[in-house]
A and B are shown apart, each in its own frame.
Chain A
Amino acid sequence: GDSVTQMEGPVTLSEEAFLTINCTYTATGYPSLFWYVQYPGEGLQLLLKATKADDKGSNKGFEATYRKETTSFHLEKGSVQVSDSAVYFCAPLRKRRQLTFGSGTQLTVLP
């Protein structure tokens, strides 16, 4: 069945460091791919998405490129801020509009 393998956390970085959170998936066909972010005590917010191969999603300085050949959708940011501290979830969209969430990666950014 469909599955998502997400980089295990927690990840701790200093402010202005470079961030990569790896995500690979197995799925039937070419699903739309999403990154969601969950700030402490809050619900999930869409961070970015890509709907077809080679698409690049971007938002708030974060980027991820849909790589069909490696079935990956790694999240990157060039310079993280303390306010980026949150849990990040990778999620391909399955049939019947089901999101399959990765295990989540806790990111802590230190000043």
Chain B
Amino acid sequence: DTAVSQTPKYLVTQMGNDKSIKCEQNLGHDTMYWYKQDSKKFLKIMFSYNNKELIINETVPNRFSPKSPDKAHLNLHINSLELGDSAVYFCASSPLSGSGGKTQYFGPGTRLLVL
């Protein structure tokens, strides 16, 4: 009955590789997000999708590309990985309206380490 799930949980890879992180939510939410948490626990939004449409694209390198095949999935593809990409990436989702309309629900995170 996991609400927001991410795979993989851990990802260790070499510089220059391309990798993807997957996110799925079974809450029926309309909006999904990707956040990056650095080693000092600072959290920053990267992307937001509403019904498969990009609505927020903060200043992130264009090596990062989100893809939303349907409303329940938002994947993050990263090209040419760099050392500075090492972080924990969190997926989140929220409904468009209703009593929980402004609450975001987070996945468990994907810990990416670039060597």
Contacts and interface: CB of A to CB of B under 8 A. Distances in A.
The judgment on whether A and B are partners is yes
Interface of A: 32, 34, 36, 38, 42-46, 49, 51, 87, 89, 93, 96-99, 101, 103-104, 106
Contacts of A46: 103-105
Contacts of A36: 106
Nearest to B110: A43
Nearest to A34: B103
A27 to B, nearest CB: 14
**Contact count band on B:** 20 to 34
Nearest to A105: B41
Q: What 6 pairs between A and B have smallest CB-CB spacing? A: A101-B43, A44-B106, A104-B41, A43-B106, A43-B108, A32-B102
Contacts of A43: 4, 90, 106-109
B94 A97 contact: yes
